[in-house]
Amino acid sequence: MATLIDKIYYFMRKGSKLETKFASYQGYHSESIIKWKNQTGLSWSVVYKLLENFNMLNARKIRQLIKKIVDDHESLFSQQNCYITGFGNAGKSGDIILYDFTHTMNIDQSKIKKTWELNDLPAYSTIIFVEDIIGTGTQSIDYIHNKVNQIIKPSHKPYILSLFATSCGRKAVLDKTHFKVLTGILLEEKHQHYSDKSNLFNKKERVKLINLNKSLKKEGVDDFDLGLILAFYYAIPNNTMPIFWKDNYPFCDNKGHSRKWSALLPRWF
């Protein structure tokens, strides 16, 4: 009976709009929202706040953000010795954003470089590494220190172009590396929904979300969860609430039964 009530409520609230919204995510299974909602133990009002305010970035939105960042820093991108490359390991998000970059901006293809070509660039070149998000900044800083600094020259002027960046992550990169940061959308504390600076949820709802997401985490393991509610069509960042992406993760439900979590937007890497 509960399932029938859920289906009626979902239909009345025009759930088809949410289906269209999440369909762009690679890995989303159609009509999985009700099943996902029921395991959370959250009310429909909280679930709809999560889903209606969830920022789902398809290729069109990503390319709009890229264009905005480039337009905002036109003088930088128009420099003669300015080169573009992906940030992070091959095949990951940096390469995908680099692909979208090359299909958004009318740019000389000789300016697009692979990682192994960077050391051969002229002295004092500007190198812009493209990425989707800077969360806590930890992974970005580690990659810069352990990889990038080994392959670029001291005279090179490096930047990260990040579609999104949290205030704390951006500050960490600026403070702990020699990189400058170009950001499309700055995710302030109000976008981090465990914080009381977020106006989306009341205190009682925030506590429920914090405890629910905590049930999908291991003690003592690095936690990048910032309470964000966003994803890109190809992947979801680990700074987003784990309830969205932690597929097949063992947990105890509110009746004390051992179960495995069924993610709405499974994370593949």
CATH number of the domain where residue 146 is located? 3.40.50.2020
CB 123 within 8 A of CB 155: yes
195 found inside a domain: no
pLDDT in tens, the chain (269 residues): 457 777 776 776 778 889 999 999 999 998 899 999 999 999 999 999 999 999 999 999 999 999 999 999 999 999 999 999 999 988 789 999 999 999 998 888 899 999 999 999 999 999 999 999 999 999 999 999 999 999 999 999 999 999 999 999 999 999 999 999 999 999 999 999 999 999 999 999 999 999 999 999 987 676 899 999 999 999 999 999 999 999 999 988 777 788 899 999 999 76
In whole angstroms, give the CA distance from residue 225 to residue 219: 13
> Element (H or E) spanning 172, and its range?
helix 167-176
168 and 137 together in one domain: yes
227 and 128 together in one domain: no
Where would I find the beta strands (DSSP E) of 118-267? 126-134, 157-166, 180-187, 230-232, 250-252, 258-260
Q: What is the pairing mode between strands 55-57 and 230-232?
A: parallel
> Which range marks the domain in which residue 95 is found?
73-187
Q: What is the pLDDT of residue 269?
A: 62
168 found inside a domain: yes
Q: What is the pairing mode between strands 230-232 and 82-86?
A: unpaired
63 found inside a domain: no
173 and 210 together in one domain: no
149 and 90 together in one domain: yes
Count of domains observed in the chain: 2
182 and 91 together in one domain: yes
Q: Give the three-state DSSP class for 4.
A: helix
Q: What is the pLDDT of residue 189?
A: 94
135 and 207 together in one domain: no
CA angle 243, 225, 57 (to 5 degrees): 70
Joined tokens for residue 263: 């993610």
